[in-house]
């Protein structure tokens, strides 16, 4: 990789660690590339699709002219794996907030789960979580939520292409999902719990693919920087 490569445009696949923000990962690469190649202060770099701090996995980072491809990459099908824990809900639909309600889960069987999965295949209506970055009345939803303000959230159409249960060990249910842009896996976990006549929240999430890009070909931010320092 050369200075010209970075300025002309590169696609870098990063495996985002747990508890890192997407912004942190981009900043780590930006700082390392800028210092290593003596790049101009405002060289172009950005990511194609945010991952929550509590999620791990594929973060696509584009530099230079390739930043123009970001919206095109974001529009591609995404694949996630993760864990839904049934019998309880949280306001954020994941582990960012504490459990706010508990529900029976003893009635949940493998058969019930497989029957329920089919309700979520194809085009579905989904409400984004109240703890999300979507803007409403000039503020992000999570800002309203943290201030204790109730806001009306409109549901939106999204498409689930594949929804496979990969492990059944109550209260945990592991899954693999392929979905369209704009799908909230936290909302899917929450809605799935209620469809099982229980409750559910997301307790693990990993993005494994965006279009043809796979996390198998990605490096952690630290490994990327280490490799960079070993070049030249």
For the annotated catalytic residues, the residue numbers are 52
For residue 177, which of 191, 196, 156 has the smallest C-alpha distance? 191
Helix (H) or strand (E) holding 194: helix 185-195
- Pairing label, strands 139-140, 156-169: unpaired
Q: What is the largest CA-CA distance in the chain?
A: 61
Backbone angles phi, psi at 199, to 5 degrees: -140, 165
| Rg, Å, the chain Cα set | 19
190 with 89: CB under 8 angstroms? yes
> How many of the other CB atoms lie within 10 Å of CB of 104?
11
How far is the CA of 127 from the CAs of 16, 106, 163, 186, in angstroms?
A: 26, 27, 18, 10
Return the sign of the alpha-carbon dihedral for residues 57, 58, 64, 67: negative
- Quick check: helix, strand or coil at residue 55? coil
CA–CA separation, 71 and 61 (whole Å):
12
193 with 84: CB under 8 angstroms? yes
């Amino acid at each position: 990789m050369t200075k010209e490569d970075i300025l002309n445009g590169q696609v870098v696949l990063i495996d985002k660690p747990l508890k890192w923000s997407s912004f942190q990962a981009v900043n780590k690469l930006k700082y390392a590339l800028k210092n290593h190649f003596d790049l101009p202060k405002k060289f172009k770099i950005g990511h194609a699709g945010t991952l929550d701090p509590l999620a791990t996995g594929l973060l696509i980072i584009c530099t230079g002219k390739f930043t123009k491809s970001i919206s095109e990459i974001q529009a591609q099908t995404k694949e996630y794996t993760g864990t839904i824990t049934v019998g309880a809900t949280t306001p954020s639909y994941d582990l960012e907030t504490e459990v706010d309600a508990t529900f029976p889960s003893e009635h949940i069987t493998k058969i019930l789960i497989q029957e329920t999965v089919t309700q979520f295949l194809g085009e579905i209506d989904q409400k984004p979580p109240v703890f999300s970055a979507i803007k409403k009345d000039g503020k992000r939803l999570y800002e309203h939520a943290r201030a204790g303000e109730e806001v009306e959230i409109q549901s939106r159409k999204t498409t689930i292409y594949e929804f496979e249960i990969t492990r059944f060990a109550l209260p945990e249910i592991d899954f693999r999902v392929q979905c369209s842009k704009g799908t909230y896996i936290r909302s899917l976990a929450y809605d799935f719990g209620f469809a099982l006549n229980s409750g559910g929240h997301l307790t693990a999430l990993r993005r494994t693919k965006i279009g043809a890009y796979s996390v198998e070909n990605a490096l952690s931010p630290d490994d990327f920087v280490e490799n960079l320092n070993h070049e030249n």
